[in-house]
Amino acid sequence: MYVLVKDFYKNSRINMWQSFQKKSIIMLTMPKKLDILLNVAAKEVSKQQKLIKKMLTTTYYVDIIIKSL
C-alpha cells in the first residue's frame, strides 16, 4: 500500500495538490484533526510525503488517499 501511494505522490504531485484543494470545500463536515491535517497539507506542499506516512496509520486517511487516486 505504501509503495503505491509513494509512486502516486512521486508521479502526480500536482494532482494530489489539487485533490487537497478540492477537499478544503468539505472541511467543515470533517473531524477537527483531519481538518487541521488537510490545512497543513494544502499550505505546505513540501511536507505532503510525511503527511501521507501519517495518513497510512489510519484507515480513514487511507480511504481518502484511495479516493483521490
What is the maximal distance between C-alpha atoms in the chain?
31
Q: How confident is the model at residue 43 (pLDDT cuts 50, 70, 90)?
A: confident
Per-residue pLDDT band for 37 (boundaries 50, 70, 90) equals: confident
Contact 56, 1 (CB under 8 A): yes
Three cell numbers written together for 5: 501511494
Predicted pLDDT at 68: 73
Sign of the torsion formed by the C-alpha atoms of 23, 56, 67 and 44? positive
66 pLDDT tier (thresholds 50, 70, 90): confident
Percent of the chain with pLDDT over 90: 0
Give pLDDT tens digits for 47-56: 666 667 776 6
